[in-house]
Chain A
Amino acid sequence: MRSFSPPVDWSLFFGELVSGLTLGSIYALIALGYTMVYGILKLLNFAHGDVYMVGAFVAFFVLQWLGGPLSPAVTGWLAIAIMFAVAMLACGALGVGIERFAYRPLRNAPRIAPLISALGVSIFLQNSALLLWGPQFRDYNTFDLIGVKSYNIGPNFFISNVQIFTIATSIALMIVLALLVARTRAGKAMRATSFDREAAEMMGISVDRVISFTFFVGSALAAAGGVMFGIVFGQIFSLMGFTAGLKGFTAAVVGGIGSIPGAMLGGFLIGLTEAFSTGYLPGGSTYANLYVFALLIGMFLIRPSGLLGSPVIKKV
């Protein structure tokens, strides 16, 4: 008699898929900042995760300024749009400031110097947040702000409005970035600087301005990720940037650091790995990070340049 394995639990599969895409959207936005900065400066900006945390806090305080989630002065979705705009602008400016004061003076120093400087900025931001805002969790109270709804789109397939919003917004931001890089003058300057900084400078491109612009865009995207985290998961805290930054960095490396589509792909891959390992692997909920970083190690072993990264050609 032929035995049948139990039918696939599609409800679980769909649930983990949506969770993974939601989480992956946030990681992808962080990864983009890492990859853009690396592409231009060959610098691992370890402060990037903390910029993401600052973005989440800026949006939280904007929400309080607007009257809080229970009685916002504007409609819930407008409040969210304002939170995004202010957080992205503030973090963009923060990113430019970090580059100006922590990295630019070290541009011609040995490569280890800006790396240490980046770690220093990261710790500085974390501890400043602890000092200013305390270690408590802050609640976005998204339920009260926009009224979270969940839609049943099939037999036990649920997706909420905040999940749809997060995935759609991050994809939209990625498309805008792709267009910015591919179709605009600023994007062309970024590509030229990334390809050969000295040559770009000789062609009349203001490299300093391009680098500042890159930091602005990358930090603004990280801030958007921070706000999304607050909206989807409800709570933010001062040390949230560390793990998220690490995951974003992993996503950038898995996708191929320096490659913008690679960062997006890597972000979604990490998010999906985390969600599916929680759903299907033994001890997955507790050890999801083990599986995520195992993926990173595996990727290094099989394809050191990442999924979409180009292998480094050395002159011999």
Chain B
Amino acid sequence: MRKLLVAAVLAAVVAGLATAAWGAAKAPKRVSSASNAGSALVKCGKTRLIGLMAPFTGPAASIGVNQVHWANFFKNRYNKTHKKKIKFVNEDTMLGAANGTAEAVKGAQALSSNRGVLGVVGPAGSNEVKATTGALKGAGLAWVSGSATNTTLTTDGTRRGFFFRTVPPDSSQSKTVSGYMVNTLKVKRVYIVDDQEAYSIGLADEVQAQLRAKGVSVSRDGVSQSQSDFSAIINKIPRNTQLVYLPWQLPPKGKAFGQQMKTLGRGGIKLMGSDGLFDPLFSSLGNNVYDSFFPVNPSDARVAAFKRSHGGNSELFGAPSYVAAQVVTAAIDRACKDGKATRAEVRGQIKRTSIGVKASLLGLPVKFDRGGDMVKRPFGIYHSVKGVFVRVA
């Protein structure tokens, strides 16, 4: 009887392995190796595949969904007016989840091995961009993020020619933020709390250096992204602090921090977030909340159309992802003129992107410099008025 059981289990294992091997052999459009992936010719066909990497779920889902909505908004508009269609291959990166950037890397590997994918929109986080570089670059893919702002992503040379972004870098954000704090809010004592992620530390370092150069007294601390109890660190914030700066990525955490500040008698201190906290969760904390955010032209007709089709919400955090999808799609269109394209050709076309002010949702032309940043890249400052962010600078 036992022998029979062992034989049955063995047979099941062998059958499983055989099925898997057969499936792998049959699986279409798998690239054979990363090295030749960039130059492999792909028939463009009627439907072009673009990878869409975003936090569909996870702690940052509230901002990830904005990006997904805007990217899909572009796709639907494009597909209505073009014979050749685009289709997104979705990969959920779960930004901020307990297993770090593992999901983003898995997603990048899946896109890399899908030969039909010619370009990628996303991922959202700077850490994710760093983590996925090996997989995406190794497969010859270009990727365009609509929210990764860490300055070094485009300056360290690692991703040159492969990575582009439709948002300004933190070097631009930090100048705007520190300038607003000093010149408009007239603060002299600032407390910065980073969240130990690449994006957060980079931005915090830059703002701290610029504030100190302007004679502001700056204290610095850090929390882990998985932390929910901020009371011990809030106790350390001196009561004469005028502003607490949170360059974070997770709006629920920003909200929790603000609420705990109120609980601990520090509700009167101004709170300023970065682009990652540009969310109703954070603005709902009250009138002493500020935030910095990407350039978006709110009077653009597409913003109004988006609002109409999304229950009156403009979800502006996702707007640069619309532009990212626009950039990738236009590049694929140009590369596919002869009916075939390689990923390298798409990369080359992205470098040559030139979207005029009228066609750009950002209210400024989109052209990339050698590093992959937009040539023009200002940041805006917003103030929470009755729980809604209003642009003030």
Residues 119-170 of A contacting B (Cβ, < 8 Å): 134-137, 139, 142-143, 148, 150, 152, 156, 158, 160, 162-163
**Chain A proximity of B144: nearest CB distance (Å):** 26
| A19-B232, A288-B232 given; A136·B98 CB < 8 A | no
Pairwise interchain contact A285-B235, C-beta atoms closer than 8 A: no
**Chain A proximity of B156: nearest CB distance (Å):** 24
A242 contact set on B, CB distance < 8 A: 98
Give 1 or 0 for each of B255-268: 1 = CB within 8 Å of chain A CB. 11001101111000
Give 1 or 0 for each of B120-133: 1 = CB within 8 Å of chain A CB. 00000000000000
With A and B bound together, what is the CA distance between A18 and B229 in angstroms? 13
**Chain B proximity of A27: nearest CB distance (Å):** 11
Pairwise interchain contact A19-B229, C-beta atoms closer than 8 A: yes
Pairwise interchain contact A235-B256, C-beta atoms closer than 8 A: yes
| A233-B260, A234-B259, A285-B222 given; A136·B57 CB < 8 A | yes
With A and B bound together, what is the CA distance between A143 and B236 in angstroms? 23
Instruction: Indicate if B97 sits at the interface (CB-CB under 8 A).
Output: yes
Instruction: Indicate if A259 sits at the interface (CB-CB under 8 A).
Output: no
A304 contact set on B, CB distance < 8 A: none
B348 contact set on A, CB distance < 8 A: none
- CB closest chain-B residue, reference A278: B232
- CB closest chain-A residue, reference B230: A233
Pairwise interchain contact B222-A156, C-beta atoms closer than 8 A: no
Pairwise interchain contact A234-B232, C-beta atoms closer than 8 A: no
With A and B bound together, what is the CA distance between A17 and B264 in angstroms? 13
| A137-B252, A235-B256 given; A279·B264 CB < 8 A | no
B224 contact set on A, CB distance < 8 A: 286
Instruction: Indicate if B176 sits at the interface (CB-CB under 8 A).
Output: no
Pairwise interchain contact B264-A148, C-beta atoms closer than 8 A: no
| A235-B252, A285-B223, A286-B222 given; A19·B97 CB < 8 A | no
Residues 274-316 of A contacting B (Cβ, < 8 Å): 274-275, 278-279, 283-286, 288
**Which of A8-16, A85-93, A206-214 is found at the contact surface with chain B?**
A8-16
Instruction: Indicate if B196 sits at the interface (CB-CB under 8 A).
Output: yes
With A and B bound together, what is the CA distance between A243 and B225 in angstroms? 13
**Chain B proximity of A127: nearest CB distance (Å):** 12
Instruction: Indicate if A62 sits at the interface (CB-CB under 8 A).
Output: no
Give 1 or 0 for each of B94-129: 1 = CB within 8 Å of chain A CB. 100110000000000000000000000000000000
**Chain A proximity of B181: nearest CB distance (Å):** 22
With A and B bound together, what is the CA distance between A232 and B264 in angstroms? 12
Pairwise interchain contact A285-B233, C-beta atoms closer than 8 A: yes
- CB closest chain-B residue, reference A17: B235
Pairwise interchain contact A135-B262, C-beta atoms closer than 8 A: no
With A and B bound together, what is the CA distance between A137 and B231 in angstroms? 19
Select one of B58, B97, B98, B264 contacting A15, CB under 8 A: B264
With A and B bound together, what is the CA distance between A22 and B234 in angstroms? 14
Residues 258-302 of B contacting A (Cβ, < 8 Å): 259-260, 262-265
Pairwise interchain contact A23-B58, C-beta atoms closer than 8 A: no
Select one of A22, A160, A235 contacting B228, CB under 8 A: A235
Pairwise interchain contact B58-A135, C-beta atoms closer than 8 A: yes
- CB closest chain-B residue, reference A236: B228
Pairwise interchain contact A160-B263, C-beta atoms closer than 8 A: yes
With A and B bound together, what is the CA distance between A169 and B385 in angstroms? 37
Pairwise interchain contact A234-B256, C-beta atoms closer than 8 A: yes
Pairwise interchain contact A135-B260, C-beta atoms closer than 8 A: no
Central interface residue in A135, A136, A150, A163, by most chain B CB within 10 Å = A135
A22 contact set on B, CB distance < 8 A: 231
Pairwise interchain contact A135-B57, C-beta atoms closer than 8 A: yes
| A233-B229, A234-B259 given; A15·B235 CB < 8 A | yes
With A and B bound together, what is the CA distance between A41 and B260 in angstroms? 40
Give 1 or 0 for each of A181-222: 1 = CB within 8 Å of chain B CB. 000000000000000000000000000000000000000000
A selection of 5 A-B contacts at a CB cut-off of 8 Å is A11-B235, A11-B239, A135-B59, A234-B259, A278-B233
Given contacts A19-B235, A163-B263, could you give 14 more A-B pairs where the C-beta distance is less than 8 Å? A12-B235, A18-B231, A19-B231, A136-B59, A152-B265, A158-B265, A234-B228, A235-B253, A239-B98, A279-B232, A285-B193, A285-B236, A286-B221, A288-B232
Binding site for B on A (CB under 8 A): 11-12, 15-16, 18-20, 22-23, 134-137, 139, 142-143, 148, 150, 152, 156, 158, 160, 162-163, 229, 232-235, 237, 239-240, 242-243, 274-275, 278-279, 283-286, 288
Binding site for A on B (CB under 8 A): 57-59, 61-62, 94, 97-98, 193, 196, 221-224, 226, 228-229, 231-236, 239, 250, 252-253, 255-256, 259-260, 262-265
**Cβ-closest 7 pairs across A and B:** A15-B235, A278-B232, A158-B265, A19-B231, A137-B252, A160-B263, A275-B232
